[in-house]
Every structure is written in structure tokens, then in C-alpha cells.
Amino acid sequence: MSQTPLIAGDFLSLLNEHKLPPFRSEISASAPIETQATTVFAFHFSEGILMAGDRRATAGNVIVTDRVDKVIEIDATSLLAIAGVPATAFEMARVLQTSFEYYRRSQLQPLSLSAKVRALARLLRDNLPMTMQGVGIVVPLFAGLDHSVAPPKPQVYFYDPLGAQFQAVGYAASGSGSGTIRSILSFQEQHGKPRPSQMNLRDAIQFALRLLMTASEFDSATGGVNPATETFATIKVLRSTGVETITEQQQREFLKS
Amino acid sequence: MTEEPYRWLEAVGNRREYVREQLKGGSPVFAASLPDGILLLGVGGGQSKVFELFDRHALAGLGHPADIEKIRQAAIDAAHVEAFTRAPEDVSLRRLVSFGLSPQLKTNFEQIFSAPFLVELLLVEIGSAPDHDLLFRLHFDGSFQSQFGGIAIAASQPDAESAAKKWLSETAKGKGSRNEIADLLLQAWWCLIANKSFESVPSEEERRKGWRESVQEKTVELGWLSRKTPRPARYEPLTLAQLNL
């Protein structure tokens, strides 16, 4: 952790003067290297929202697996994309899956999009102690259907590690490869023909796969896409009718065309 | 004052009569195990009778809406706690009924100073094949019968219920599509509510005309647990229009 900048006379300076640093500066040598998952993104296209992620998980400079699913179907109309520590993120997904389905079945109506977005924010806030300790950080994306309009409209939200939620107008990305992906999405949104929001399903899937291929060239923690090794992305589409999973077979065909 | 044992027996007997009397006008509910899933059917006059419980589980019942609601909530709570504690695959209908709902119904029925549950229920669990579908018939006193596959009915009159089940099981042979079976269940429903004998059932035309006329002021509720969907939650509500009926 970088040295905390000190202001003369403030509380941190006082603690520092007495050799009581408020933040632990070194992680214990015996602590395991935590597994991290990157890279995920979502953007609006002509039929709804496409949410995708590579399938790599790393621990330091070790590739743990190239087969992790980071885009998770929470219920028939909600998607969660995880970047950060899978141990925490998968548990958050499980809590959300159970609580959304429990509400829908017991109340005989689905939970509102606002409540779903806040439920994830609350889980992130509850995870704050772990985040502050430098372990268990999760920075997810969430997509859901807004049922307050007809037909229901897919929306994307992104979060900060403390749980603040922001609605994405066109796109959102998270994880170590997100810088590259955001740059390309921003360029495509402003100058692309077609723009992501105008793409049909075929174009959107091809675009998503190429985004991951590009991100993997600049970020070793991003797994990328390689048909030769049967490595594809996790891609899910959220329309006003619900979630559809784009299979590896479909991705292979879209890449060929 | 000392209560003699026979008074308790008498009280329980009276409760049984009271519950049966209260349930007499109840509209029967049905469950049928088909090649592609389980179809549940109920006809209500403003109250819901068919419900999703969990990923592979559903319930249909007749009786007092408040009592059905209490049991529905209890079953949903138990299933979700089990799924969260262990895994969704570990939620089993056998456990849910025999360790959860049945003992509670029995206890409640035999506590003669509290109101009994006014319910007759069907609970179903979809399996990998029709032979693995589990159908439970749960009674207001906590007693239950289970069967794999086939057709199950919950009606207020035991004799009529078993006659209808026998007739349906024979008539449904060779029929596998949802709309054929739904039509047949509605015919049986009409025969039950119109007090028609299953020894000499009216003609098919009359039965079909009968159910169509009888459901005009009511709501036909159809629930479908699909064997083929890739989603964990297998349940979806259906309408008669979706089945071309």
C-alpha cells in the first residue's frame, strides 16, 4: 500500500508520530495470494444489453484457471458480472439469487430493479472491512429489467468497492482489462459505424469477442478468446423478455462469419 | 375437572367432520406427470390455487385462502433455507412434506383448542423423467400419500376423488400433450363439481361443454414445471389460450 500523505497536525500524523500506522502497510507473508477475476463489461445494443467476461482467474502471476464464469444469471431478468475476488463475489451472487427468487415466490411478484440494485450495494458495503484489509474486494456490474416502463427496459449499473451504484448510459466495464475495453467502447460510441447501441446481435457478439481479444493483449490477467484452444467468453444477453446465454458454439460461428 | 380420553377422541372426530364440512364446496385441483413436465391445474373464483414453491417444486390446493397461504409460505421458507444452507439440488419434496408440513398439520389438527387448517393439497417435484416425478397428496390432518408419475387429485370428497383419479388414469392413457391432458383434467373437474358419476360419465361433448360453461365466471390456473428448460427455475404459469383451449 502506498504511503498515506500526511498533513501536519492531523490525526494520521499523530498516529504516525507514535508509530501507530492506521492502515497495515504490509500483508502478512503467510497470507495466501488471493485469486482475482477480470475482465467484465456490458453495453447496450439494439436488442437490449450484452454482458460479457473473459474466463481467466489469476493469483499473483499464476493463472488459476481459464474456465471461470464471471457473468452469472441471478434470475430470469438479472445478470451479475464479477471482477475481483471470486470467493466473495460468488457468495454475493448466491445471496442475491436466493433473496430475489425467495421474494418473487413468496410475494408473487418480482423484486423491483431499484431494490435489486440496492441489494447488491448493501452486500458491497457489508464487505467493506474485507475491502479495507485488501482482501475480498469485488467491483461488479449489474444488469436488470426496469418493469416500471412498458415494455420492460434493460439497464446496466456499475459500482465502486464501497457500494456506490451508478447507472451506465451506454456501457460499463470492470476489472484489470477494463481500461482498454472502456477506451474502445468510448471510441466506438463516438465514432463507430455502427455504434454499439445500434448493433444487431451478431455484430454485438463479434464486437464483444474482439474487445476481449484486444484487452488480453494488454493485460495478462485477461484470458481473451482463442477458438484454437476452445477458449471463449461468457456472454449473456438481457432483452425485455429475459436472459439468453450465448453458447460457445454460437460464439465460434459468430467469430467465423 | 378431569378430561376423559373419549372426550378427546370425540373432539378429534368432531374436528374431522367440521373440516370436511368446511371444505365441501372446494374446487378440486389436479397434477399430471407428462413426458415434458408436470401440469398443475386449478379453477378458482378469485383466489389462487396453483403456486411455485422452489426450482423444481410446486403446490396446488383447495381450502381456506389464509391456510393455503400459511402452508405455502412455510414450504417456501423451508425450501429456500435448505437451498441456501446446502444446495438447490438438496431441496427434496419428501423431506419438505414428511419432516416439515405433515407433522405441523398433524399437530395443529390434534390440538383441539386451536383452529385446524382447512386445506387439501397436492405437492409435486419434477424429476429427470416422468417415472421420477414425485407427487404428494397431503391432507388437512397431516396424513399423506406419495406416488411416482401419473395423475393426482385433491378434492374435498375422498370417494369422488378416488373415482375421478381412476377414470383419469384410464382415460389419459396414450395422451401426452399438455392441451389434451389439460382438457381432460377440466372435464374431470366439471364432473366433480357437477356431482356426475364416474361410473357412467357423460359424453365427451357434454363434459367439454360443461367445463367451458362452468369456468366462464372463474379463473383457470395452470402451472407448468418444465423438464426441458435450461434454467434452474422450472415453473411457469400458463393460460388456456397458450394451450389452444
Q: Using one digit for the tens of pLDDT, what is the confidence trace for B110-159?
A: 998 889 999 999 999 999 999 999 999 999 999 999 999 999 999 999 99
Cβ distance B230 to A245 less than 8 Å, yes or no, reads yes
C-alpha torsion sign, points A59, A64, A66, A68 = negative
A49 Cβ contact list (under 8 Å, min separation 6): A42, A43, A79, A143, A154, A155, A156, A237, A238
CB-nearest to B76 from A73, A94, A102 is: A102
The partner residues of A58 in beta bridges, in order of sequence, read A36, A63
Whether the link from the prior residue into A39 is cis, omega within 30° of 0, is yes
Torsion angle, alpha carbons of A170, A172, A69, B89, to 10: -70
- The residues in B 193-222 lying below 8 A from A, measured between CB atoms, are none
Which residues from B are below 8 Å from A110, CB to CB?
none
The partner residues of A73 in beta bridges, in order of sequence, read A79
Residue A190 has pLDDT above 90, yes or no: yes
Average pLDDT along chain A: 90
Residue A25 has pLDDT above 60, yes or no: no
Burial of B229 (0-12, 13-18, 19+ CB in 10 A): middle
Residue A44's nearest CA partner among A139, A143, A140, A111 is: A143
pLDDT-derived band of residue A1, with 50, 70 and 90 as boundaries? Answer: very low
Q: What is the DSSP string of A40-108?
A: EEEEEETTEEEEEE---EEETTEEEES----EEEEETTEEEE--B-HHHHHHHHHHHHHHHHHHHHHHS
Cβ distance B48 to A108 less than 8 Å, yes or no, reads yes
CB-nearest to B84 from A75, A98, A108 is: A98
Q: Are A219 and A58 in contact (CB under 8 A)?
A: no
Q: Are B182 and B192 in contact (CB under 8 A)?
A: no
To test the contact with chain A by mutation, choose from B231, B234, B235 the residue with the greatest count of A C-beta atoms within 10 A, namely B231
% of chain A exceeding 70 in pLDDT? 90
| Cα B151 from chain centre | 10
* Greater pLDDT, A30 or B244: B244
Q: Which residue of A has its CA nearest to B234?
A: A76
What is the arithmetic mean of pLDDT over A153-173?
A: 95
Is B83's Cβ below 8 Å from some Cβ in A? yes
Annotated catalytic residue A98:
no
Residue B64 has pLDDT above 50, yes or no: yes
CA distance A82 to chain B (A): 20
**How far is residue A152's CA from residue A144's CA, in Å, rounded to a whole number?**
10
Residues A232-241 have pLDDT tens digits of 999 999 999 9
Residue B40's nearest CA partner among B172, B175, B186, B143 is: B186
CB-nearest to B233 from A76, A106, A108 is: A76
Residue B170 has pLDDT above 90, yes or no: yes
What is the arithmetic mean of pLDDT over A115-125?
A: 97
CA distance B56 to chain A (A): 13
What pLDDT was estimated at residue A76? 95
Residues A38-71 have pLDDT tens digits of 899 999 999 999 999 999 999 988 999 999 999 9
Q: What is the DSSP letter of A225?
A: -
**How far is residue B245's CA from residue B240's CA, in Å, rounded to a whole number?**
5
Cβ distance B54 to A76 less than 8 Å, yes or no, reads no
Residues A217-253 have pLDDT tens digits of 999 999 989 988 889 999 999 999 999 999 999 999 9
CB-nearest to A105 from B52, B84, B231 is: B52
Residue A6 has pLDDT above 70, yes or no: no
- Helix ranges, chain A (H): 11-17, 86-107, 113-126, 128-132, 178-191, 201-218, 248-256
H or E element in which residue A167 lies: strand A165-168
- The ipTM is 0.93
Cβ distance A105 to B48 less than 8 Å, yes or no, reads no
Q: The pTM is what?
A: 0.90
**What's the grid cell of residue B12?**
378429534
